[in-house]
C-alpha cells in the first residue's frame, strides 16, 4: 500500500481557495485568446486550413465516408477521420472566415490544455499550481509555437495528461472516458495510451514491486468502445497502421527519395536541443532524481518522469514529439518538488528559465505574427470564376491542399495530409506526379491532361520548379491564369480526357 501522500494544510490557505479555480480558468482563456487573436496573424501551418475545410465539408455533406476531393489519395475510397472531434468542433463555425474559426477553436483548446495541467497539479495539492502552468509557456519556444497551431495535438496532450493521472490515482471512470475519446481525437489512439500505461505500471513496479491490470483493462475497454462508435472504424484502424508504419517508421525515421514530409518530422540537431530544449531536459533530470528518491511514498511523479523520458527519446527521432515532451517535463518537476518545503520553487524556476528562453520566445512570437494569407479573398474569388466546380487541379505539392480546398470548394486536388497516401494507392502514378515538376520535359501539359485528368495546374512559387513553369507556359494551348511571387497558376486548355 502507498503511504499517505504529502500534503499541505488547506485551511485558511489563500492558495487553494475555491475562487482560484475560475480565476485561473479565465486567465488561461485570456492567454490562449491573446495568443490567437493578437499575436497570431494567420495560422502558420497549412494543416489548420485542412481541418477547417473538413469541418465545412461535414457541415455540407454530413459525416464523411469517402473523400472524392483528393481522388489520388488512399483516403478517397478508404476515408478515416482520425481527428473527427476537431473537425466537428469546426462545424458550428463553418459560416465564419476560416482564420477567425481557427482562432476561436485554438483559444478554446489551448485554454483547456492549460487548465487540465492546472487541474492535475491542484488535485495533487501542488503549491502555486498556476505558476507551474505559466512555466510551461516559458519553458521552450517550441511549445509556444506548437501551442499556437490549431491541430489535433491540442486535444491529445490534455487527454494524455488526464489518462496518466487517472491511471495512477485509480480514477477509473475518468480513465474510461478519456480512453473512449482518443479514437475520435488523435491518430495514435492506441500507441500513446499504451506508452502511458507502460510508464504507469513501470513506476508502480519500481515503487511497490507489483503491477495492476485494472487500469489497462479500463483503457482497452474505453478505446474499444470509442473505436466501435467511430463512423469510420475499420478504415481508422488501417489508417493508424499506415501512419505508424508507412509514414512514421518507413518514411520519417528512414527518409526515402520521393517522399517529403516536412520539417516537423526531422529530428532536432544537438544545437537545437541546446537552444530550445535544454531547460526541459534539466527539469526532467532533476524531476527523475527526486521522483526516484520518493517513489515508495508516491510514484505519480515517477510515472510522469518516465513518460517525459520516453517522449524525449521520441523527440530525438522526430521533432514533433517535443509538443508532449515539454508539458510532461514541466509536470514532472512540479510534482517531484512537492517534497521540497520551499513555497517559491515555481517562481524561482520561472525566473530562472526566462533569461534562457526569452530571446527565442520573442523571435517565435514575432514569426507567428508576420505570416500573410496565401490566398486572400480577392484571389479566391478570381480563381472560383475561372476554375469550375468539380474540376481536377494538378498541384505540385501536398501540404497546401487545405488552403486550396478553402479557396476552391468542391474542386478536386491531388492528395491531402501526406504524400504517402498517394504512393500507397498508385506507386507508378505517384512517381510521375513527383517527377514532372522536378525533371520537366516538353509535352507535360498533355501528360497532365491524360494521366491526371487535370486541366488546371496550381503551384506555390518554388525556385526548384522554375524550369517546370517555363516549359509548361510554352506548351500549345496553355494559358497563364495568375502569376505572382507566391503562385503560379495555369490553364492547360481543352477538356480533360
48 closest CA partner among 126, 100, 121: 100
Query: CA 306, CA 335: separation in Å to the nearest integer?
Result: 13
Residues 6+ apart with CB under 8 A from 210: 204
Task: Give yes or no for a contact between 192 and 182, defined as CB atoms under 8 angstroms apart.
Answer: yes
311 closest CA partner among 281, 266, 289: 281
Q: How confident is the model at residue 257 (pLDDT cuts 50, 70, 90)?
A: low
Share of the chain above pLDDT 90, in %: 78
Tell me phi and psi for residue 352, to 5 degrees. -75, -30
- Cell numbers standing for residue 168: 495512477
Which alpha helices (H) appear in 149-269, and where do they start and end?
A: 153-169, 172-185, 191-208, 214-229, 233-241
Q: pLDDT per residue over 369-378, tens digit each? A: 988 899 999 9
Per-residue pLDDT averaged across 220-249, rounded? 89
Q: How confident is the model at residue 462 (pLDDT cuts 50, 70, 90)?
A: confident
Query: CA 240, CA 235: separation in Å to the nearest integer?
Result: 8
Mean pLDDT of the chain: 90
Which residues on neighbouring strands pair with residue 395, listed in sequence order?
Answer: 458
- Between 497 and 76, the more confident residue is 76
Query: CA 153, CA 48: separation in Å to the nearest integer?
Result: 12
Q: How confident is the model at residue 400 (pLDDT cuts 50, 70, 90)?
A: confident
**Residue ranges per domain, the chain?**
20-42+80-368, 377-491
pLDDT greater than 50 at residue 15: no
Q: What is the pLDDT of residue 11?
A: 43
Radius of gyration of the chain (CA): 24
Q: How confident is the model at residue 256 (pLDDT cuts 50, 70, 90)?
A: low
Q: pLDDT per residue over 402-457, tens digit each? A: 999 999 999 999 988 788 889 889 999 999 999 999 999 999 999 999 999 999 99
Q: How confident is the model at residue 242 (pLDDT cuts 50, 70, 90)?
A: confident
Please give the angle made by the CA atoms of 248, 274 and 307, to the nearest 5 degrees. Answer: 50
Query: CA 243, CA 421: separation in Å to the nearest integer?
Result: 9
Q: pLDDT per residue over 113-158, tens digit each? A: 999 999 999 999 999 999 999 999 999 999 999 999 999 999 999 9
Per-residue pLDDT averaged across 346-361, rounded? 92
Specify which of 17-21, 132-136, 267-271, 342-346 reaches the highest per-range mean pLDDT.
Answer: 132-136
Q: Is 422 helix (H, G, I), strand (E, B) or coil?
A: helix
Please give the C-alpha separations between residue 189 and each of 112, 361, 386, 417, 449, in angstroms, as whole numbers: 19, 31, 42, 17, 40
pLDDT greater than 60 at residue 104: yes
Q: pLDDT per residue over 275-304, tens digit each? A: 999 999 999 999 999 999 999 999 999 999
305 closest CA partner among 276, 332, 338: 332
How far is C-alpha 213 from the geometric centre of its chain's CA atoms?
A: 30
Task: Give yes or no for a contact between 133 and 95, defined as CB atoms under 8 angstroms apart.
Answer: no
Q: pLDDT per residue over 165-192, tens digit each? A: 999 999 999 999 999 999 999 999 999 9
- Cell numbers standing for residue 34: 491573446
Q: What is the full DSSP assignment across 452-463?
A: H--SEEEEE--G
Amino acid at each position: 500500500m502507498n503511504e499517505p501522500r504529502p500534503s499541505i494544510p488547506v485551511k485558511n490557505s489563500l492558495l487553494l481557495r475555491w475562487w482560484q479555480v475560475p480565476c485561473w480558468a479565465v486567465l488561461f482563456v485570456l492567454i490562449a485568446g491573446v495568443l490567437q487573436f493578437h499575436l497570431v496573424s494567420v495560422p502558420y501551418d497549412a494543416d489548420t486550413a485542412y481541418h477547417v475545410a473538413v469541418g465545412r465539408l461535414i457541415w455540407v455533406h454530413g459525416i464523411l465516408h469517402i473523400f472524392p476531393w483528393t481522388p489520388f489519395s488512399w483516403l478517397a475510397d478508404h476515408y478515416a477521420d482520425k481527428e473527427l472531434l476537431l473537425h466537428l468542433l469546426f462545424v458550428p463555425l463553418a459560416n465564419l472566415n476560416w482564420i477567425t474559426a481557427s482562432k476561436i477553436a485554438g483559444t478554446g483548446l489551448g485554454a483547456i490544455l492549460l487548465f487540465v495541467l492546472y487541474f492535475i497539479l491542484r488535485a495533487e495539492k501542488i503549491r502555486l499550481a498556476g505558476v507551474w502552468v505559466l512555466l510551461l509557456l516559458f519553458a521552450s519556444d517550441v511549445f509556444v509555437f506548437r501551442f499556437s497551431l490549431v491541430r489535433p495535438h491540442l486535444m491529445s496532450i490534455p487527454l494524455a495528461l488526464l489518462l496518466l493521472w487517472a491511471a495512477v490515482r485509480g480514477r477509473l471512470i475518468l480513465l474510461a472516458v478519456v480512453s473512449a475519446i482518443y479514437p475520435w481525437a488523435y491518430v495514435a489512439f492506441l500507441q500513446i495510451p499504451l506508452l502511458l500505461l507502460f510508464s504507469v505500471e513501470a513506476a508502480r513496479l519500481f515503487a511497490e514491486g507489483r503491477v495492476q491490470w485494472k487500469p489497462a483493462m479500463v483503457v482497452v475497454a474505453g478505446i474499444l468502445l470509442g473505436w466501435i462508435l467511430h463512423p469510420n472504424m475499420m478504415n481508422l484502424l488501417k489508417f493508424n497502421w499506415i501512419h505508424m508504419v508507412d509514414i512514421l517508421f518507413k518514411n520519417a525515421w528512414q527518409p526515402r527519395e520521393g517522399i517529403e514530409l516536412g520539417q516537423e518530422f526531422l529530428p532536432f540537431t544537438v544545437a537545437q536541443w541546446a537552444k530550445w530544449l535544454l531547460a526541459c531536459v534539466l527539469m526532467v533530470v532533476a524531476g527523475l532524481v527526486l521522483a526516484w528518491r520518493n517513489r515508495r511514498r508516491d510514484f505519480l511523479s515517477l510515472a510522469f518522469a518516465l513518460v517525459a523520458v520516453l517522449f524525449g527519446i521520441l523527440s530525438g527521432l522526430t521533432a514533433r514529439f517535443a509538443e508532449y515532451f515539454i508539458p510532461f517535463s514541466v509536470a514532472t518537476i512540479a510534482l517531484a518538488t512537492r517534497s521540497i518545503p520551499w513555497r517559491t520553487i515555481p517562481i524561482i524556476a520561472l525566473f530562472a528559465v526566462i533569461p534562457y528562453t526569452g530571446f527565442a520566445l520573442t523571435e517565435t512570437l514575432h514569426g507567428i505574427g508576420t505570416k500573410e494569407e496565401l490566398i486572400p479573398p480577392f484571389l479566391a474569388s478570381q480563381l472560383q470564376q475561372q476554375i469550375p466546380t468539380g474540376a481536377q487541379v494538378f498541384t505540385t505539392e501536398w501540404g497546401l491542399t487545405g488552403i486550396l480546398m478553402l479557396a476552391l470548394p468542391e474542386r478536386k486536388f491531388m492528395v491531402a495530409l501526406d504524400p504517402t497516401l498517394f504512393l500507397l494507392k498508385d506507386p507508378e502514378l505517384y512517381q510521375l506526379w513527383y517527377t514532372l515538376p522536378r525533371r520537366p520535359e516538353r509535352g507535360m501539359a498533355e501528360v497532365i491532361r491524360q494521366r491526371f485528368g487535370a486541366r488546371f495546374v496550381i503551384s506555390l512559387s518554388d525556385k526548384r520548379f522554375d524550369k517546370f513553369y517555363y516549359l509548361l507556359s510554352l506548351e500549345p494551348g496553355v494559358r497563364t491564369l495568375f502569376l505572382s511571387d507566391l503562385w503560379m497558376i495555369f490553364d492547360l486548355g481543352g477538356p480533360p480526357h
